[in-house]
Amino acid sequence: MMYSPTQADRKFRRRVSDFLAIEQDQAPERPLRLGLIALGVTLMLVYEAPITVAIVAAIYFAADLTYIGHARRVAQAQHVTRPMLTKLLAHHAITIVAFTALAVVNAFWPSQTAAWSAVILMFGQALNCIGNDTRSMDATLIGLVVVGAGAQMTAFGLGLAGGFSDSDRIFLHIAVALITVFFSRVALATASARARLAARTEELLHAQKGEAVGRLTSGIAHDFNNLLTVMRGNIDLLGELPEDERAPLLREIGDATERGGRLVGQLLATSRRKSHDPELIAIDEFFASLLTFSRRVLPANVALDLEAEPRLSMRIDSAQLEAALLNLIVNAKDAMPNGGIITVEARRLSSGDAETLGEIMISVSDNGSGMSADVLRHATEAFVTTKPEGKGTGLGLSMVRTFAEQAGGRFELESSEGKGTTARLRLRG
């Protein structure tokens, strides 16, 4: 029986994910933050802060380092339980209590420098709560309790060490309470807004995945339909030909089925970002095979011209190269509904810098409608297509670009409205 997570399970996973995101966001800056705190504690001690500051700082550093290890273990756990999260939250609370204690200890020391240090430390703790801890409602609530209590204790210490009158101390506590209330409202509103944004983002991602699957399914059905059309046409011709003339048609049917398998392989290669084993191919022989199949998918009003330098060869995955060129040829055909010429040319670059010299460039050009600058800018992105619904996946040019990059080359696209399009594969010779 398949397990279906309940609403409570999903909420718990969100709590864990949100809390661990705080550690992930702060990880790159942690060495700098710990270094600044160490420098601040050193300056406090230089300016005659109590030795208690050094003891509290040592407790804070120990708590923070052990908290990091605990958070990493929870992040790597295959299944996080509620006791594990509770223990992690408690560890987080201990860490920020230790930091807040630095402010409180300074507040009770009768020194102007210590008083300013206490205020600055509490202000920094409040900013950290709003800036980082509001990623998680659990961390926000812990931060509000610790900062609120720490602010009142700091106010008490400042009033006591500064010799304030009773009325001044009461005013100080009221002022701190009002600031804490305002700070709490800001922190809770920020945490709530972040939670709503995360939920909406997750919903959008699910919607985009559903749309992508739908578009992909529609486009793959269209591509396979092209292959089935070739097979069906040849099967129909078999009944009209004598048996000794059927061999070429049977070979084309076999080739079409192989290309169907290659289409699936191409999709898998794109999703895994993994290239197949290359082989040495002669371009002129490769073009001859490509021409035979391409003519079957092109209408009568579209001419195909293939040109290759003599004795040109390269080591490449022939199946993926063929799939890439077929994608470009079909795109060129679709851009010329009234007919035109598609030119496929292969040549070795004899000029250029040390990086490009010796590359083999295969270009596919058409004299169709072309693309605007805005469309061209996004043309190689996945699921971007200008074709009618059901006529393409929006993956064609993205797959071509992926193939070129996997082969150690690059893909270039040049187009302008009304002047056609030229696609170039620049591959290692």
220 occurs within a structural domain: no
Mean pLDDT for the chain overall: 80
CATH of the domain at 402: 3.30.565.10
15 occurs within a structural domain: yes
In terms of residue numbers, what domain contains 108?
Answer: 7-163
Q: Quick: pLDDT tens for 325-351.
A: 888 888 888 888 888 999 999 998 876
Q: Quick: pLDDT tens for 287-318.
A: 888 887 677 678 888 999 999 888 888 888 88
Task: For residue 90, give both structure tokens.
Answer: 């408690």
Residue ending a domain, among 136, 163, 190, is 163
Residue ending a domain, among 140, 163, 186, is 163
Residue ending a domain, among 124, 144, 163, is 163
* pLDDT less than 50: residues of the chain: 1-4, 270, 272-275, 390
Check if the beta carbon of residue 260 is closer than 8 Å to that of residue 221.
no
119 occurs within a structural domain: yes
Distances (CA, A) of 400 to 215, 255, 406: 18, 21, 10
299 occurs within a structural domain: yes
Whether pTM exceeds 0.85: no
Q: Quick: pLDDT tens for 145-154.
A: 999 999 999 9
Number of domains in the chain: 2
For 3-50, give the DSSP string: ----HHHHHHHHHHHHHHHHHHHHGGGHHHHHHHHHHHHHHHHHTT--
198 occurs within a structural domain: no
326 occurs within a structural domain: yes
What pLDDT, on the 0 to 100 scale, is given for residue 29? 82
How far is Cα 291 from Cα 304, in angstroms, rounded to an integer?
8
Task: For residue 156, give both structure tokens.
Answer: 């008490």
What pLDDT, on the 0 to 100 scale, is given for residue 357? 58
Q: Are residues 270 and 404 in the same domain?
A: yes
Q: Are residues 316 and 423 in the same domain?
A: yes
